[in-house]
Amino acid sequence: MTEPQDEWRLRFQEMMQAEVSESLRRRILEEASQREREAMVRRQPRQTGAWKSWFAGLAGVCAAAVVAGVVWTDRSLPVAPTPPTAATTGQSNRLLQETVFGLQKSQLIATGIKVVRPANAPGGPILQATVTNIGNTVVTPQDVVGVLGFTQHPGQDLLSTSNWIDFVNGPSGPLAPGQYATWSFNPIGVNVNSQGHIIGQPKLVFFSTKLVSPAKADRILTSAPGVQLQNVHVVPRSVSNTGRSFEVRARLVNTGNKPIILNQLLSLVWFSPQAGASWTAASAERFFDQVEAVDPSTTIVAPGQSTEVVLPPLIGSNTPNFLQWNANVLVISHTW
């Protein structure tokens, strides 16, 4: 029998509810951003130029790359000597270890992110969001790298709790302060449930490509301690009209004194046309990937032990053929 309390709860669940519109959200963020700028001016009296707040209309469609990847190199921080690798593609491939990268959030903020084409539709899902420059300087595509992930709940941390995560491009053109644009992305390989719906809540964050010291960073990426990759092979898989797929295979050695839990690792894979180029380079192809044992029964690697691992297939842009470039791999701890 239904209790009166439950009956009322059921009634109220069917009640029409007002939703926050995208224009209201933008109004709030723009006003907050304006207040931040004014506060900044007050704190810095020598910068007396009045802010000219202007909000342009739709700046244009920013189509993100089909799949982008990562590249991290902080020249101000020590990077371990390049260990020997045996990559099958590219030249002077390198494997970075014991590396720390400081990331700072950019002045681009993504709002209203939603699925505009379902995962089970031909061509796969498409996500759309409004990207607004809430800062006080122009942001160009080279200034930012986006990270898209799907978390179980909206408020969860993107980087440590996403069930799927990848790098995405920012807007295709420069965005002036206050200007916004529609961003869209086709997350190939995203996790879906039995009904074909994407699992999790999408979250999109843009980081500045200018790396900072860990003390100033919003997020810090560190290489996973005790993890060493040997015999790294980049294996091309297929080329289609929409992309070029590959996977990475390697032997993971636990050189530390604690067990390595594979599902707590993420790999950073990037390809750059110039040897030694940073992952932040505009020309780089960047990827996030999981680290899985070839033998699925292996989930933990004990100290001193090793196992064959594979970074599951990734798809990058079709042209240019980035697989001929310099490949870089870095394994980071998932709990960053």
Instruction: List the x/- string, 60-99, binding to another protein by CB under 8 A.
Output: ----------------------------------------
Instruction: Scan for tokens 């701890």, then name that residue.
Output: 333
> In angstroms, how far apart are the furthest CA atoms of the chain?
72
Contact stretch for another protein (CB under 8 A) within 35-43, 68-76, 242-250, 311-319: 35-43
- Amino acid letter, 219: R
Six-digit token string for 326: 């310099």
Q: Beta 326-333 vs 265-272: how paired, if at all?
A: antiparallel
Q: How far apart are the first and last CA of the chain?
A: 49
Which lies closer to another protein via its Cβ, residue 32 or residue 302? 32
| 12 binds another protein, rule: CB under 8 A | yes
Q: Beta 100-103 vs 94-95: how paired, if at all?
A: unpaired
Could you say which residues in the range 279-308 bind another protein, by CB under 8 A? Answer: none
Instruction: List the x/- string, 125-144, binding to another protein by CB under 8 A.
Output: ---------xx---------
Q: What phi and psi values does residue 68 have, to the nearest 5 degrees?
A: -110, 170
Nearest C-alpha neighbor of 51 from the set 41, 63, 61, 62 = 41
Could you say which residues in the range 97-116 bind another protein, by CB under 8 A? Answer: 104-107, 109, 111
| 148 binds another protein, rule: CB under 8 A | no
- Minimum gap (Å) between residue 193 Cβ and another protein: 22
Contact stretch for another protein (CB under 8 A) within 4-12, 75-83, 254-262, 321-329: 4-12
Q: In whole angstroms, give the CA distance from residue 266 to residue 99.
A: 14
Note whether 298 and 229 are within 8 A (CB): no
Q: In whole angstroms, give the CA distance from residue 33 to residue 107.
A: 10
Which lies closer to another protein via its Cβ, residue 203 or residue 334? 203
Looking at 157-297, which runs of residues are DSSP E strands? 164-168, 180-185, 201-208, 219-222, 227-239, 244-254, 260-261, 265-272, 285-290, 292-293
Nearest C-alpha neighbor of 130 from the set 183, 169, 173 = 183
Which lies closer to another protein via its Cβ, residue 19 or residue 54? 19
Among positions 1, 2, 3, 17, the unique one binding another protein when judged by CB under 8 A: 17
- Minimum gap (Å) between residue 57 Cβ and another protein: 15
Instruction: List the x/- string, 154-193, binding to another protein by CB under 8 A.
Output: xx--------------------------------------
Strand partners, 223: 332
| 267 binds another protein, rule: CB under 8 A | no
Strand partners, 307: 252
Note whether 198 and 191 are within 8 A (CB): yes
Instruction: List the x/- string, 207-246, binding to another protein by CB under 8 A.
Output: -----------x----------------------------
Which lies closer to another protein via its Cβ, residue 4 or residue 81? 4
Residue count at the site for another protein (CB under 8 A)? 36
Task: Kindly list the residues in this chain that would bind another protein in the complex (CB under 8 A).
Answer: 4, 8-9, 11-12, 14-21, 24-25, 27-29, 31-33, 35-36, 40, 104-107, 109, 111, 134-135, 154-155, 205, 218
